[in-house]
Structures are given as C-alpha cells and as structure tokens.
A and B are shown apart, each in its own frame.
Chain A
Amino acid sequence: MSAISAKAASSAVALARKGVARSDTIRNAWEFVIRGLLGCTALISIAITVGIITILLRETIAFIQLPEIELTDFLFGTTWSPLLGAEKHFGIWPLICGTFLVSIVAAMTAIPLGLITAIYMSEYATAGKRAILKPIIEILAGVPTVVYGFFALLVITPALQGACNFLFGAPIFSGYNAGAAGIAVGIMILPIVASLSEDAMQSVPRSLREGAYALGSTKFDVSVKVVTPAALSGIMASCFLAITRAIGETMVVALAAGGLAHMTLNPADQVQTMTAYMVQIFLGDAPAFGVENLSSYAVAMVLFLVTLVLSIIGNILLNRYREVYE
C-alpha cells in the first residue's frame, strides 16, 4: 500500500496540473455580477415596506386634512357611520372593537386547543399518531380563508342558532355575528399556535426532561410544569403571530361577521371589523377621492400599525427562544 500511495499521490498532482486553467478574471467578474444582482433582490423587501408606509401615510394625511374629518374624532370617537348621509361620523373605535372581539373569540378557540394539541404531539403522542396529526394540522393551515368564511356563515352560525334555540328557546345569535366568525378564524389560526408551540417544546433539551423525571415527576408534571415554562417565549411568540393573523383576516369576517360598526363585546352581535369595512368600500362604487374611499386608507393605516406592533413583539419573542436553544 505504501509505495502505491505515494506514487499515486504524485501522479495525481501531476495530472491535476494538466488541465487548462480557467480564467480567474471571468470568475471574479461573474462573482461580482451575481453578488450585485442578488443584493438588489434583497432590497426589494425594503422597497415593499417603504412603499406600504408611504402610500398609507399619504392617503391617511389626505384623509385627516379633509374638512369633514377631525383628528380627535377619528382617534377617540366611538361612532363610525361613514355612509350615513348628513350624519357621518368617523370615530375609529367601533371598528377596532369589532376586530378586537373577533380576535378574542379566535384566541379563546385557538390558544387552548392549539396548546394542548402541541403538548400532546410533543410529549405524549407516539410517532404513529404524530404522523397522522401533523398532516391534519397542516391541511387546516392550507385551507383558503374563503372556505372558513363559508363555514362560519353557513355552518357555524346556523349551528349556534340551533343550539341556542334548543337550550334557551331563542336563536340569540344573529345571522351575522362575531362569535361564528371568531370561531372560524380560531380554527384557521390553530395550526400556527400548534406548530410553533410544538417546535418550541421540541427544542427544549432532553436533559431538562430527564432531570425532572429523575426527581420522580409524572408526565403531566414534566409537560406542564417543566417543558411548557421552558418553551414559554416560543409559545408566546406563536400566540402573538397567530393573533396578528387573526386581526388581519379579511374574508371570514367579510362574509360572516356583518357590516354594522358599533361598540359591543357580545359575540352574538353583528360587528364590523377594520378589514370588513375596507372590503365594503373597495367593493362599492365610492369615488376615488371621496371621504369614504380615503377613510378606508386611514383604517388600513391603523390596521397596519396594530399588526406591525404585534408582529414585532412576536418576532422578538421568537428570536429570543431561538437564541436560547439554537
């Protein structure tokens, strides 16, 4: 082996020299060009953010400067009736309240269900069960939002009305209501909570669990008292990101939540969310520079800011959990 090795090595080196060298100026030039091109693509994401902010800002300022609008009324008023002829009011709070109500119902549906499912998948389920459960959750995530809207309007609402009829003798839930929309949105965001929380829990090192078991803990103790707190920032990140998605949801609320903007916390009532209002305006025939049209941009601005803040918090939490475990 020895002599062959050494001789082969020198032959290899000699053979390696036989090739025709490639030009390194071309190589360097190519490298430079590709770097530049790819670098430009990265700038596009910045351009998008700048674009969104500029456009929304411009239209919102135009809205505020309209004679009918008072900034204080917009920011603090509790009546929103932009289409009411002489009695127009543009207080933003009814829309925020509607969005808030739907999102709360969605959160109350998605977070408990999603978290427990995540704990089950991460700590209890065997590989076989996980192999069934994970695709189902992925499928729920892939269903288009109009389908959830249809479901909310034509399945959940009648079901709620029927249940209330049976239990209380009256339907209670109106044809459009925040509850049904909230439940549907909750189902829609459940996969976000479940997968991100499960990822967070899986990242908790085994040594932590083993230490707890060694002290005599049961599976319940380990899952709920050790792993969940350890994965807390990841779990909270998933909640924030899920709620961000719920707030921005358009089709479900446009179909099922209704078009009446008022301040209420009753899920059986009709509400109008910020997104539903925008749909109403954009579907209508309002002139391009009229107050209705501009109000929709102002609402979009508020929506964007709210989702931005929540999304930033969610991503900061996500970074934090990633830093700790990766």
Chain B
Amino acid sequence: MSAISMRTKRIVKNRAFLALCLFSTSATILILALLIVTIMVQGSNFLFSSEALSAVFGHGELSQIPKIIRWDFLTNLASRFPEKAGIYAAVIGSLWVCLICALLALPLGIGTAIYLEEFAPKNRWTALIDFNIRNLAGVPSIVYGILGLTAFTRMFGLFGSDKNSALSFGPDNAWWHIQLPFGQGLLAGGLTLMLVVLPIVIISSREALRAVPSSLRQASLAIGATPWQTASKITLPAAIPSILTGAILAMSRAMGEAAPLLVLGIPVFIANTPDNLNDNFTVLPFQIFNWAGRPQESFHQLAASAIVVLLVVLICFNGVAVYLRQKLRKPMA
C-alpha cells in the first residue's frame, strides 16, 4: 500500500473519531437541554398563570410580570383537585428533613474523615473501614430505607409499635417533642437520609483532606503541634472549601431522594407542615413520584411544575456551593 493512501487512511480515521467524539458530547448536551425544555413546557401550566403570560407576551404589559408565577402553587397544600394543589407542605418538609440530615451527617461524616485521615494508624483495620465506606456508597438507597425503618421508625420493636408509641419526651407543642419509636416523623426521616448521605460526605471530606499537601502537616508537627492541633489549625482550614462543596453536593443528593423515605412510610397527602421533630412530613420528590404516576394529564403537569421548583431549589444550593468554593479558595502551597 502506498504511503499516501496509508496516510489518508489515518487522517480519515482520525477525523471520523473526532466526529464521533463531537457527536457523543453534543448528544450529552442535547439530552440535558431536552430534559430541561420538556419539563419546563409540561410544567408551565401550573407554574405560570396563562392570563399573565398572554398579557406580557401578547400586549407587552410588563406590569404583569410578578403575576406570572402562580404563587398559589407554591403556597397551597396538596389537594385532590389539580387546580387547587400546591406543594407548600412538600417543600417545607423537604427543607426540614434536609436540615436535620445535614446537622447529623456533616459532623459525623467530617469527624470520621478527620479521624481516618489524620489520626488512625495506617494498618489493615483502617483499610478495611475505608473499603467498607466505599462499598456503603454503592448500596441502593432503598436498602438504607429498610435499615431506617427497622432501626428508627420501629426501633426494633423495643418501644411498642410505631402506631402506639411507648415513650414520649417533651410537651406536645414544643419543637423538640420526641416520641419513641420515631415513627414516620422528621427525626426518623432525617436519620435515614443521614445513612444514605454519610458515605458520600466521608469520602469527599477525605479527598479534601488528602488534597492538603503533607508538607504543611510536617511543618506543623515539626514545630511542636500535636496531631489534633495540626488537624484543627492547619489541615482543616485548608480543606474547608472542598469539604463544604462536598457537603452541599451530598445535601443535594439528600434532597432528591424519595425511595428511603417511601420505605419509612411517609404520607403522600399531608394536612399541614410539620410542627415538631416527630411530626409527619412529606418531601417534594415523593410528591412528584405520586403525581407522575397518575393517569391524568393534569397531574403530570403538576409533577413537572413541582420538578421545576425542585430543580430551582437545587440550583440555588449548588450555586451557593460554587460561590463558596470560589470565595474561600486560597492557594495551599
């Protein structure tokens, strides 16, 4: 074969592969665009009031803009009637349960990461714990739901069934009113989500701590700092931006989870927002799941609108993460 045709063959192969690459990457971008567009289109019915929309786009009346978003969708509670349905309870429930999950998972996860990275001797046991955590990250979230169901909702049956709880603490109207077993309350939900999210927090915090150059640790130890002083004054401050980013991403994951809470038995329809730690609640993804699964078209549109709200909340979360990452990031060496 002549040298020229071999060269052409190579060039063709190169170009073809490049074309394949570009095709696949554009496919990825297109998929995301398609996702967004279809959801927006389907959701527009319940998010935006049609009169206001036609007023703005038809006659150009800009004063109608604030009325575009149907605030009653956001502030109504659930209803059997699509027109009257709102996601208020679900949004509040989601925010509350994620807050509780964060308060539990972040200290535990970051603490574990600090211990494993800075204190634990590097032997077979710590390698085993590390391996265990990585595998826990791969466990399906519904299995964590089962663990939560037995350990938190029913508490292994130690305190009576979850319908008639045996013990309760605190006055009924206090926010810290707790009943044992936890039933389907905020605390049980938060603990179960904590289980889902914990491996992710640990792994990302460890990566963040590992990224701090060891020369900094050595400098600190050489000057007479103890391991904890080194960790708390040098390593942790340097790793905080990455840890924070990882934490927020983990919380985004928690906010999108419905399966484990479904196993706990949280209700779909709820009359009001939770009052205390043991109160019933529902979450936005579960609401979406319920609506999307119904045959009526209007519920599908409701689901799409709820998805838009969920995505907006998540975008805000991640936006905060990116902002914090930029603001707190300093060079380390």
Contacts and interface: CB of A to CB of B under 8 A. Distances in A.
Size band of the B side of the interface?
35 or more
A84 interface: no
Given A52-B139, A247-B140, A311-B137, 17 more contacts: A39-B120, A41-B111, A51-B151, A55-B151, A116-B21, A124-B18, A139-B32, A144-B258, A144-B285, A147-B310, A194-B28, A219-B14, A220-B10, A250-B140, A275-B140, A308-B138, A315-B131
A42 B206 CA distance: 12
A49 B311 contact: no
A150 B284 CA distance: 13
Given A38-B111, A44-B112, A249 B129 contact: no
B256 A113 contact: no
Interface stretch (A73-81, A260-268, A276-284): A276-284
Nearest to B202: A45
A251 B146 contact: no
A143 B28 CA distance: 14
B91 interface: no
Nearest to B33: A136
A248 B141 contact: yes
B311 A143 contact: yes
A278 B140 CA distance: 12
Given A38-B115, A255-B289, A307 B140 contact: yes
B198 A45 contact: yes
Contacts, number: 230
B142 A48 contact: no
Interface stretch (B35-43, B172-180, B211-219): B35-43
B224 to A, nearest CB: 11
Interface in B193-207: 195, 198-199, 202
A48 B192 CA distance: 11
Nearest to A311: B138
Nearest to B199: A45
A129 to B, nearest CB: 8
A30 B139 contact: no
Given A35-B228, A283-B262, A151 B25 contact: no
Given A220-B17, A282-B263, A112 B24 contact: yes
B143 A300 contact: yes
A147 B311 contact: yes
B247 interface: no
A269 B28 CA distance: 26
Interface in A136-165: 136-137, 139-140, 142-147, 149-151, 153-155
22 contacts: A34-B228, A35-B119, A42-B120, A42-B129, A45-B199, A46-B129, A55-B147, A116-B21, A117-B28, A120-B25, A136-B32, A140-B32, A142-B256, A144-B258, A149-B289, A154-B42, A220-B17, A223-B17, A279-B262, A282-B145, A308-B139, A311-B139
A310 interface: yes
Contacts of A48: 136, 147, 195, 198
A244 interface: yes
Contacts of A46: 129, 132
A137 B133 CA distance: 25
Interface string A18-56: 000000000100110011011101101110110110011
A243 B199 CA distance: 18
Nearest to A47: B151
B27 A113 contact: yes
B307 interface: yes
A312 interface: yes
Interface in B10-28: 10-11, 13-14, 17-18, 20-22, 24-25, 27-28
Contacts of B27: 113
Interface string A305-317: 0011011101100
Interchain residue pairs A-B with the least CB separation, the first 9: A144-B256, A248-B140, A311-B138, A38-B115, A120-B21, A250-B259, A116-B24, A41-B111, A41-B112
B80 to A, nearest CB: 18
A304 B289 contact: no
Contacts of B101: none
A187 B31 contact: yes
A140 B226 CA distance: 43
B13 A218 contact: yes
